[in-house]
Amino acid sequence: MAKRAVPEINAGSMADIAFLLLIFFLVTTTMDIDSGISRKLPEKQDPNVEPPILKEKNVFVVNLNRNGDILVENETFMKVNELKDAAIEFLDNGGGTDKDGNKCDYCKGKKSIKSSDHPKKAIISIESARGTKYGTYIAVQNELVAAYNVLRERSSNELYGITFDELLKRAKDENNSVAKAADLKIKVKRIKEMFPMIISEAEPVKFN
């Protein structure tokens, strides 16, 4: 008796279907994006150079514990959404002079002698516990950076009639002439010097 031929399964179409499904899932799947902070790390300091002496009123201290509590200036507990306004008040105080003895004629703060002397002297210090949640830390950083951005936006609008973001975009435009590019860079530098972003990040400690 002759053996019956076993029909072969055409796997070619199945491979095509699997390939199309793979492409479909790759296109439609949402990828998690890690959050992070863009920072330029400071250069290594010369161990023989003594650190500058800072006045306590020129340092805005933000403490984070592992429970997500935020203590500002070692006396006031705040929520994350309250940090920006507090930082702006500190940075924009203008209660004294810079290192050259110049008063801040563009500051619009309370001029309190108990707060920062000048934006160029103002430092924001973040101290966190080892158990601080990463999300809380990022949220705090974002609010503090936002405080600088608000003040830079204000100064840019007052001096040049455009936002600081727009000023940065124009400065990066590759179609600028050499003279225009140089002028825009000077303007950007001036705004940054008016409110330099000085955020100190201390090593995590073990407080609760």
Please check whether residue 2 lies inside any domain of the structure: no
Residue pair 80/100 in contact (Cβ under 8 Å)? The answer is: no
In a domain, 153, yes or no: yes
DSSP run (H or E) holding 183: helix 178-194
Q: Residue 42: inside a domain, yes or no?
A: no
pLDDT, tens digit, for every residue of 49-92?
666 678 999 999 999 998 889 999 988 999 999 999 999 999 99
**Amino acid occupying residue 59:** V
What's the sign of the alpha-carbon dihedral 205, 207, 137, 33? positive
The Cα–Cα gap between 142 and 140 comes to: 5
Residue 206 lies in a domain: no
Q: Does any domain span residue 46?
A: no
* Bridge partners (DSSP) listed for residue 52: none
Q: Running DSSP on this structure, what letter comes out for residue 25?
A: H
pLDDT in tens, 124-173: 999 988 888 888 999 999 999 999 999 999 999 999 999 999 999 999 99
- What single-letter amino acid sits at 162? I
Does residue 54 fall inside a structural domain? no
Q: Has residue 37 been placed in a domain?
A: no
Domain membership of residue 114 as a residue range: 59-201
Residue 28: pLDDT band with limits 50, 70, 90: confident
pLDDT at 5: 58
Q: Residue 63 phi/psi, 5° resolution?
A: -105, 135
- Alpha carbon 75 to its chain's center: 24
Residue 5 lies in a domain: no
**Number of domains the chain contains:** 1
Locate 118 and state its tokens: 């000048």
Instruction: Take residue 123 and report the two structure tokens written for it.
Output: 């430092």
pLDDT in tens, 175-191: 989 999 999 999 999 99
